[in-house]
Structure 1
């Protein structure tokens, strides 16, 4: 290989630049400031098992002897590079690294909640306090006709009379893609289609007769309430696993908050301009 080709090699440039970086760090960082260097890469049995388990999960079989050596080598490369990067301060000012470390600290703070099992009274109290979250919503079946935006009271009254006499709702009123007949739809779904508050408004109408107008996100409607099934709270046993998971999630949130408050209490916040205040 020619000397010129070697000198133009990107790999050579990489090694030269790396050497300069490490050399500059050694020159600019006094020995007493540098962290004590640990040149031993200690692979624990637990970490080795983790590597093997990861391989098994990815490939559906345990690693061969050669693949195990490869896993160990990859771990050693990663560990060595992380140590050198930390020694050079490459973690400083990196938002992704900071966010990852924060996420790990939060995980450590809330991890115990995943193994907690509340007694029956505690879970029942949590269920009662959050009943609205678990209640089955009311379901409504109804017919509707969207009124023209310029409909007069007289025209609305005439249209109401026509519907009362049995006219087909699908052929009356303003043309729209909305269905004329809706059967037993949950109230939240009705509000998603017609706009917030529409289900509650038609739920107060007298059944089996055309009433209105009722306002929606599309305009005004004449509505006939056909069926109304009130919402109900299922027994705790029917939702036990979900309620338990939600309770643990809430406990984890509390643990994270308490940990954060205690952690901040160890520090004083110094603001721009030299002002300082204790953390709450």
Structure 2
């Protein structure tokens, strides 16, 4: 890029104008009337870059000269407003401000975890410990018939005999919106439809035979288990990114807990008498 083009860049103008705004203030204010150092609004290079990046992210271009002046002015207004609010104690007793400050402290405590890379054996051990979270769930293919609520043992036996002789499950039992057959259905999905106890019960059924009754949230069922695929844990490499993210999240939680405990150890908790008695 030619030097002339650099000089015409709006982004360069933005940085220059930021310095001019405060430079002019210093020149126009007599030394005896200038504010003390603690009242100087110092716009750092990092903060200036943040303003420029924010504008570019929002608009997809660098700011014009007028927009640059506006950004600097808005930053200055925000800075003086925050300083004066803190001086007046407006942050005291404000739940939103307290929550925001707590969140920032927790972020500082957890931030190092995002860059951590565990040794292979450490990640494998974490994966094995959390196997239930990553395993492909068991899958079931089965047919079912919902028994009438008032079905006697004799009626159940008659229905079971018809099914064993090849009767269509859709033509028998109590009318229901439930499908008479479900194929390759994951265990958690079966549990959402029929209940967790139903999954445990059908998991123990023999294959290819009508069995029951099995209880669900809808009533009692006769069930024929056709196929069952056991839960399976895939190799770590197939889920590495997800496992690594989860491991880092676990480390972040540990860091936050350790950081919180260390901070609390620096203080003595002074409670009102009633609160102290309740805490014992």
Query: TM-score normalised by the shorter chain: which range applies?
Result: 0.7 to 0.9
Helix, strand or coil: the match of 1:270?
coil
Unaligned runs of 5+ in 2: 1-35
Unaligned runs of 5+ in 1: 1-35
Shift of residue 170, structure 1, vs aligned partner: 1.2
TM norm structure 2: 0.84
User: Is 1:196 aligned with 2:196?
Assistant: yes
User: Equivalent residue for 1:153?
Assistant: 153
CA distance in 2, matches of 1:132, 1:239: 14
User: Equivalent residue for 2:90?
Assistant: 90
User: Equivalent residue for 2:265?
Assistant: 265
TM norm structure 1: 0.84
Contact 1:209 1:225 in 2 (8 A): yes
Aligned residues: 243
User: Equivalent residue for 2:130?
Assistant: 130
Contact 1:143 1:169 in 2 (8 A): yes
User: Equivalent residue for 1:66?
Assistant: 66
Helix, strand or coil: the match of 1:54?
helix
Cα–Cα, structure 1 residues 244 and 165, in superposed 2: closer, same or farther, change >3 Å?
Answer: same
CA distance in 2, matches of 1:201, 1:84: 67
Shift of residue 197, structure 1, vs aligned partner: 2.3
Q: Deviations over 1:18-75 (max 9, x none)?
A: xxxxxxxxxxxxxxxxxx9821111111111111111111112222222121111111
User: Equivalent residue for 1:232?
Assistant: 232
Shift of residue 212, structure 1, vs aligned partner: 0.4
The 5 Å alignment of 1:19-168 reads 38-168=38-168
Q: How big is the alpha-carbon RMSD for the aligned residues of Structure 1 and Structure 2?
A: 1.8
Helix, strand or coil: the match of 1:218?
coil
Larger helix share, 1 or 2: 2
Shift of residue 180, structure 1, vs aligned partner: 0.8
Off by >4 Å, runs of 4+ in structure 1: 274-277
